[in-house]
Amino acid sequence: MSIVASVSVAIVAVIHIVIAAVEIFFWETPAIYERLNFTAEVAKQVTPIVQNAGLYNSFVAAGLIWGAFTKDSFQIRLFFLICVIIAGIFGAFTLRPTTLLLQTAPAFIALVIVWAAPYQSKS
């Protein structure tokens, strides 16, 4: 696989590490929960749910890192990037449309690069 494909998958992994850190450790920061139109009271109530989502995002990041740095990891990369794309689309409908830009677009670009990488190496 090409280095560009590995780097693109790693970038998506870093995005998910940041998302996971924010959800697990910084959710109750007003700048974070207010961005999603939550009050302090509601943010406190949903903290365990958001932290759980953060844990799941850390698992996604781990899978992306696994795919980025494992030889012959085409299927691993496809699986985790498609998961991110689906989650991003769902997030755009249920949270904020900007999720498409922040989560879905980088994963889609990485998916195209990963998909094209096997053909580049045969040229």
Query: Which residue shows structure tokens 């689906």?
Result: 86
User: Are the C-beta atoms of residues 109 and 8 closer than 8 Å to each other?
Assistant: yes
Mean pLDDT of the chain: 93
Confidence of residue 40 (pLDDT cuts 50, 70, 90): very high
pLDDT confidence band for 122 (50 / 70 / 90): very low
The C-alpha atoms of residue 55 and residue 52 are separated, in whole angstroms, by 5
pLDDT of residue 71: 87
Cα distances (angstroms) measured from residue 12 to each of 19, 25, 43: 11, 20, 26
Mind listing the pLDDT tens digit for each residue in 63-87?
Answer: 999 999 998 899 999 999 999 999 9
pLDDT at 117: 87
- The domain spans of the chain are 3-122
